[in-house]
A and B are shown apart, each in its own frame.
Chain A
Amino acid sequence: MDQQVVRSGLVEFLRTVAIPGCSLDDIDDSINLIDAGIIDSFALIQVIFYLEQNHGCDLHALGIDPADLGSIKGILNAIQRAND
């Protein structure tokens, strides 16, 4: 799947779990979304669920730590690893 399509799908999803009032426009891919106060650690569970349902990621099997899913770049890396 095209990387740009995956990224825009992910950003669209993140908008639904972001803390109300927080913007994801022009966000740097390497910014930690939890540290920046854009999502909370419970929203990360929904990120995990999204990865499992939409990209077939088994984080446990891949040995990916939830802490690595804090940024858009980290989530995209997880999707990449699942596809590999």
Chain B
Amino acid sequence: MLPAALANLHEHTGLITRTETVAGRLLLWSIASLMLLWHEVTLLMPVALALVMIFPQQRRLLLSIVAVAVLAERFLGVPGMSWMYIAAGVLAGIVCLYVFFRWVQQFERWPGVARRHPLILLHIGIWIALILSTNPWFGILGLVPFMAWRLSYMVMQGSRGKLAGTKFTDHLFYMFPVYGGTATPYGKGMEYLSRHEALDATAFARSQLAGIKLLVLSAVWFFLLDLMNLVFFGASVPYLTLWPETWALDLPRVNRVLADGLDAGGIQGWALIYLELIRATLSLAAKGHIIVGCLRLLGFNVFRNTYKPLLAQSILEFWNRFYYYFKELMVEFFFYPTYLKLRNISPSARMFTAIFTAAFLGNMYHHILNQPDTVTAWDPGLFWSVWGPRFVYCFLLALGVGVSMVRQQKLRQSAVEASRLVKLRRIAGVWTFYGIIQIWNIKSTEVSIADCTRFFLSLFGL
């Protein structure tokens, strides 16, 4: 997709050498900053980038200092917050986190039951905090959903005894990351980030060039997304006003079809679900590339979040490539623990149970954790209206991933290279599966399971 020169930017020896010079670094910072501003990333990011480029050996300390500003920036978004409250909130947040870090560092002194189930204990604490956060006095606890998995990575590292030699500043920077992110921690925790950290000038330059590449790729995906919204869905795109209105197909989005009960069965329905899948992939890739691009610019040469999922030949491969850091979260916190504990059942049952724990239970839990008000409202009707369709989506996803995993194992054993036609058929199958299950992945309280199922049946003329 990308021209070869851009695709291999981070492997170009001459370019890497030039990037290591003062002039090269200045030029790289200027280009990166312009691109970051264009992508509307926080202004703190170019500042952090400059600091890390001048003092790369102090990377984590500098990023931790910037993290304090990132936390303050979050409070600035709260209406009516005075400077005194912001300062008090930031101080309280950092002190709480420091106390927590010191506590996890002394993991071996925890009571036996807590040492056996540290993550369950942490998540019980998280839910208590979320219930308390409904009280204005504990409003700062509203940050907990964003930090939940970051804290989980810290506790997991502590339980492995790998937190002992680390400093608070080795962890603060990914709790309030200047490189952005969601409740899913891109770049995971410190253990993973440190494995990918550039330790010399050449590795740093290579990482930064790989970061620039992702920012460019992100811009391309955003452009394609805008073009797609204009051509297929008739959306207005300010910089594409020359496109004739009559050329826009003005198709309805799937969420509108479901919410308004529009008639969109048959071929149009199929077109809509495939378009929705492409749209979701482009959107996630474009946003994820900015975050991973920033991480790489700062010297953490981590994997992309989205890597060519539309070329995946199996459901399992798509899941692996579509949202890498979310999948890793599910695998590390749900799949492995379940799989390792279940030794006395058949291999297939063991695999399926672990998959369902990750792709169904873990997936649901993660999303509910991000909308705790649907639980703390204590209203089963509201809970079901928000999460009902997603239960179906997660169930179908888990079923698909489980079947695909068993099939993949058989295919690996046969080791026969598939023909191009077979590969295309497999890709089409993957698109169809994910296109269909996306119907139940609608974020709207106006849409019920019955609405989604009706649309699904209309695809087959029923």
Q: How far is the CB of A70 from chain B (nearest CB, A)?
A: 9
Could you tell me if B409 and A46 are in contact, using CB atoms closer than 8 angstroms?
A: yes
Is residue A54 contacting chain B, with contact meaning CB distance below 8 A?
A: no
Q: Which residue of B lies closest to A65 (CB)?
A: B160
Cβ contacts A to B, 29 pairs, < 8 Å: A16-B412, A16-B413, A16-B415, A35-B195, A41-B327, A41-B328, A41-B331, A42-B316, A42-B320, A42-B331, A42-B405, A45-B339, A45-B351, A45-B354, A46-B409, A48-B339, A48-B340, A49-B347, A52-B343, A59-B340, A60-B341, A60-B343, A65-B160, A66-B332, A66-B336, A66-B340, A67-B160, A67-B191, A67-B332
Q: Which residue of A lies closest to B347 (CB)?
A: A49
Question: Which B residues are closer than 8 A to A by beta carbons?
Answer: 160, 191, 195-196, 316, 320, 327-328, 331-332, 335-336, 339-341, 343, 347, 351, 354, 405, 408-409, 412-413, 415
**Interface residue ranges of A23-70 to B (CB < 8 Å):** 32, 35, 40-42, 45-46, 48-49, 52, 58-60, 65-67
Task: Provide the bound-state CA to CA distance between A17 and B415, in Å.
Answer: 10
Question: Which A residues are closer than 8 A to B by beta carbons?
Answer: 16-17, 32, 35, 40-42, 45-46, 48-49, 52, 58-60, 65-67
Task: Provide the bound-state CA to CA distance between A18 and B351, in Å.
Answer: 19
Q: How far is the CB of B196 from chain A (nearest CB, A)?
A: 7
Contacting residues, chain A, for B413 (C-beta < 8 A): 16
- Known A-B contacts: A16-B413, A60-B341. Give 6 more (CB < 8 A): A16-B415, A41-B320, A45-B339, A45-B351, A49-B347, A67-B332
Q: Which residue of A lies closest to B408 (CB)?
A: A42
Within 8 Å by CB of B343, from A35, A58, A65, lies: A58
Task: Provide the bound-state CA to CA distance between A65 and B159, in Å.
Answer: 10
Task: Provide the bound-state CA to CA distance between A5 and B327, in Å.
Answer: 35
Contacting residues, chain A, for B415 (C-beta < 8 A): 16
Task: Provide the bound-state CA to CA distance between A52 and B351, in Å.
Answer: 14
Could you tell me if A35 and B196 are in contact, using CB atoms closer than 8 angstroms?
A: yes
Q: Which residue of B lies closest to A63 (CB)?
A: B160
Contacting residues, chain B, for A59 (C-beta < 8 A): 340
Q: How far is the CB of A46 from chain B (nearest CB, A)?
A: 7
Could you tell me if A40 and B343 are in contact, using CB atoms closer than 8 angstroms?
A: no
Q: Which residue of A lies closest to B319 (CB)?
A: A42
Closest 7 CB pairs of A and B: A60-B340, A66-B336, A41-B331, A59-B340, A65-B160, A60-B341, A40-B320
Task: Provide the bound-state CA to CA distance between A14 and B398, in Å.
Answer: 26
Task: Provide the bound-state CA to CA distance between A52 and B343, in Å.
Answer: 9
Task: Provide the bound-state CA to CA distance between A35 and B194, in Å.
Answer: 12
Q: How far is the CB of A3 from chain B (nearest CB, A)?
A: 25
Task: Provide the bound-state CA to CA distance between A67 and B336, in Å.
Answer: 10
Q: Which residue of A lies closest to B328 (CB)?
A: A41
Could you tell me if B412 and A17 are in contact, using CB atoms closer than 8 angstroms?
A: yes
Contacting residues, chain B, for A42 (C-beta < 8 A): 316, 320, 331, 405, 408
Contacting residues, chain B, for A49 (C-beta < 8 A): 347
Q: How far is the CB of A79 from chain B (nearest CB, A)?
A: 16
Contacting residues, chain A, for B405 (C-beta < 8 A): 42
Task: Provide the bound-state CA to CA distance between A58 and B160, in Å.
Answer: 17
Contacting residues, chain B, for A40 (C-beta < 8 A): 320
Task: Provide the bound-state CA to CA distance between A14 and B343, in Å.
Answer: 22
Interface centre among B339, B351, B415 (most CB of A within 10 A): B339
Q: How far is the CB of A2 from chain B (nearest CB, A)?
A: 27
Interface centre among A16, A52, A66 (most CB of B within 10 A): A66
Interface centre among A32, A58, A60 (most CB of B within 10 A): A60
Task: Provide the bound-state CA to CA distance between A16 and B316, in Å.
Answer: 17
Contacting residues, chain A, for B354 (C-beta < 8 A): 45
Within 8 Å by CB of A32, from B160, B195, B328, B331, lies: B195
Task: Provide the bound-state CA to CA distance between A41 and B320, in Å.
Answer: 9
Q: Which residue of A lies closest to B191 (CB)?
A: A67
Task: Provide the bound-state CA to CA distance between A46 and B408, in Å.
Answer: 11
Interface centre among A32, A40, A46, A58 (most CB of B within 10 A): A40
Q: How far is the CB of B72 from chain A (nearest CB, A)?
A: 34
Q: Which residue of B lies closest to A18 (CB)?
A: B412
Q: Which residue of A lies closest to B302 (CB)?
A: A35
Task: Provide the bound-state CA to CA distance between A45 and B332, in Å.
Answer: 11
Q: Which residue of B lies closest to A68 (CB)?
A: B160
Contacting residues, chain B, for A48 (C-beta < 8 A): 339-340
Q: Which residue of A lies closest to B316 (CB)?
A: A42
Q: Which residue of B lies closest to A49 (CB)?
A: B347
Task: Provide the bound-state CA to CA distance between A42 and B196, in Å.
Answer: 20
Task: Provide the bound-state CA to CA distance between A41 and B412, in Å.
Answer: 15
